[in-house]
Amino acid sequence: MSAPASVGVGLVGAGFLAQTRARCYSNVGGVDARLVAVCSRTQEKAQAFADQHQVANTCADLDELLARDDVHLVDLCVPNHLHRPFTERAAAAGKHVACTKPLTAYVGQDLAEDASDADVSATPRAQMLELAVADAQAMVDACASAGVQLMYGENWVHAPAIRRAGELLRAGDAVALELRGWESHSGSHTPYSRLWRYNGGGALIRLAAHPIGAMIALKRAEGVARDGQPIRPVAVTAEVADLSVPAARGATPTIATGWVDVENWGCALIHFSDGTRGVAYGSDNQLGGMESKLEIMASTGHLKCNLSPHDMLRTYAASDGAFGDEYVMEKASTQAGWNYAIPNEDWSSGHLAMCADFAQAVAQGRPAASDGLLGLEVTKVIYSAYVSAAEGRRISLD
């Protein structure tokens, strides 16, 4: 399809992630991108969001949003079980699609509607892998058949620190030998995060998906730059656990507890096709604010990427509330003591650059830097990791 002179964005969803997207689309550079419409589960929620972000149009549902000629890019900020059907409907309507991570998840889509939570989480992990990957492939195929782009909403790929690290590695023809990445905090407090049927897993898919996506993207770019072929993940070994259970033996935990059938800690060892390795983990067991970091041990250097926290601005307060009700950083429980008051998380986390890249890709008719194929590979790694953890063995991705 032809590239539009001005890119109209339709947001599906009005929650926390959609708030981030709205801020970012309003600040993208290099392209005329406009947030033209939003829809949500209720008209009231959509209208409140539109009022907050000066969005001119609210839609009663997805179909009404897809019918708008001024919407060129549909950004899906919706629960995991809606990713495939909403992507397929958007592609059929001729819209480019941006889908948040994870691209897909196993949430009991093959079970009866009255299946219990226990039925969902009891599904064999190998079956979960098959179905999640099939859904991801169907999304890729639907967009390819319709001649539209499927863009994968992995902000780590676009984070300034990680983008610069990739540039440095490629400039020196360095081999990324060992990649270590993690995202950790004190745990999500929404009850939906505690159940497999809503998330498709726990800390591994909610948190470790970020470093996994970044590692795959970096190794893919390294291979293409060197010999024109991407370096791919070929196997994975993993462990998962709910560490809040042993935590209950001591003093009352401050971390989130009450996980029903998902892990609050997960670690995946990724084997790449060139013989290098990546270690990614997600944890809900860290107090003191969120940490999002990636380290790269390369053949010619050592790089450390700090998405959160970073010390561009540090603050000290004698007590909580010293800075009014100002936001400090994600998952920081207090302003008291020393803190990392991140000046612009949208920029440092990569969300701003990601939204700009999505809009520019549509306007310029070029591929986005993080695409559906990246999301497909992340899905394969994550669910192969769940199989590995369940069966206690290395799992081949091929």
- List beta partners, residue 281: 182, 267
**Does 4 have pLDDT greater than 80?**
no
- pLDDT band with cut points at 50, 70 and 90 for residue 274: very high
Structure tokens at 367: 């591929």
Q: Is 371 a domain residue?
A: no
Q: Is 288 a domain residue?
A: yes
Please, what's the b/e burial string for 136-150 (b: 16 or more CB within 10 A of its CB; e: otherwise)? bbebbebbeebebbb
Closest by CA position to 243, among listed 279, 290, 204, 209: 204
**Where residue 79 sits, what CATH number does that domain have?**
3.40.50.720
Residues 282 and 343 in one domain: yes
Residues 281 and 313 in one domain: yes
Residues 161 and 290 in one domain: yes
**Where residue 244 sits, what CATH number does that domain have?**
3.30.360.10
Total count of domains within the chain: 2
pLDDT value for 333: 82
Q: Is 369 a domain residue?
A: no
pLDDT value for 1: 62
* 374 or 343, higher pLDDT: 374
Structure tokens at 55: 């969005």
pLDDT value for 162: 98
Q: Is 359 a domain residue?
A: no
Q: Is 283 a domain residue?
A: yes
The CB density around residue 311, as the number of other CB atoms within 10 Å, is: 8
Where among 154, 180, 197 does a domain terminate? 154
Q: Is 378 a domain residue?
A: no
Residues 185 and 330 in one domain: yes
pLDDT in tens, 217-271: 999 999 999 999 999 999 999 999 999 999 999 999 999 999 999 999 999 999 9
pLDDT value for 70: 96
Q: Is 373 a domain residue?
A: no
Q: Is 11 a domain residue?
A: yes
Where among 154, 188, 212 does a domain terminate? 154
Residues 125 and 251 in one domain: no
Domain enclosing residue 303, as ranges: 156-351+384-396
Residues 26 and 95 in one domain: yes
pLDDT in tens, 380-394: 999 999 999 999 999
Residues 149 and 169 in one domain: no
pLDDT value for 353: 97
Where among 99, 119, 154 does a domain terminate? 154
Residues 22 and 145 in one domain: yes
Q: Looking at the chain, how many residues does it have? A: 398
**Does 100 have pLDDT greater than 80?**
yes
Q: What is the mean pLDDT of residues 146-174?
A: 97
Residues 299 and 196 in one domain: yes
Residues 214 and 284 in one domain: yes
Distance CA 22, CA 50 (A): 10
pLDDT in tens, 107-137: 999 999 999 999 999 999 999 999 999 999 9
Q: Largest Cα–Cα distance of the chain, in whole Å?
A: 61
Q: What is the pTM of this model?
A: 0.94
Residues 177 and 284 in one domain: yes
Contact 53, 77 (CB under 8 A): no
- pLDDT band with cut points at 50, 70 and 90 for residue 2: low
Residues 345 and 201 in one domain: yes
Cα–Cα distances (Å) from 357 to 30, 267, 363, 364, in that order, read: 9, 30, 10, 10
